[in-house]
Structure 1
Amino acid sequence: MNAVVRILRYLKSAPGKGMMFSKHGHVDIMGYTDSDWAAKRYRRSTSGYFTFVGGNLVMWRSKKLKVVSLSSA
């Protein structure tokens, strides 16, 4: 439901733009995530993710974290 609300908010805020969904014949849910330790320029870590439902991108986020990660442990 959160994904649906997010899509509707996007459509309301961007009436000149649209979204394209393709029918792939499956309803698989796939998610990917990645992170980056403190870059030399900003010294802050970045993380992000995106989610596909049925081969269509439905949710994404990228965020610069407030803390600097010094290790993955």
Structure 2
Amino acid sequence: MFLKHGHVKVVGYTDSDWAGKGDKKRLTSGYFTFVGGNLVTWRSKKLKVVSLLSAYAEYQAMEGFYEVLWL
């Protein structure tokens, strides 16, 4: 149920991080967006393979940015 908050601002939050211990570390990333104070989209993802590329972590975080641009 959407509530009326008196504005139609689009706000997004995104984060990516390494999770786990030792050789079991995995990249975890996610984002969520609000329109007018209401949650409208979200996504979280944990890679199944070990990736040491920080560029890929940044790419995952950018998905949230593009979601905000689309909205």
Which of the five TM-score ranges fits, normalised by the shorter chain? 0.5 to 0.7
Uncovered stretches (5+) of structure 2, i.e. residues with no partner: 56-71
More helix, by proportion: 2
Compare CA radii of gyration and give the structure with the larger one. Answer: 1
Q: Compute the RMSD of aligned alpha carbons.
A: 2.0
Q: 1:33 aligned to 2:23?
A: no
For normalisation by structure 2, the TM-score amounts to: 0.62
More strand, by proportion: 2
For normalisation by structure 1, the TM-score amounts to: 0.61
- 1:65 deviates by 2.0
Q: Which has the higher contact order (CA 8 A, sep 6+)?
A: 2
Equivalent residue letter for 1:54: G
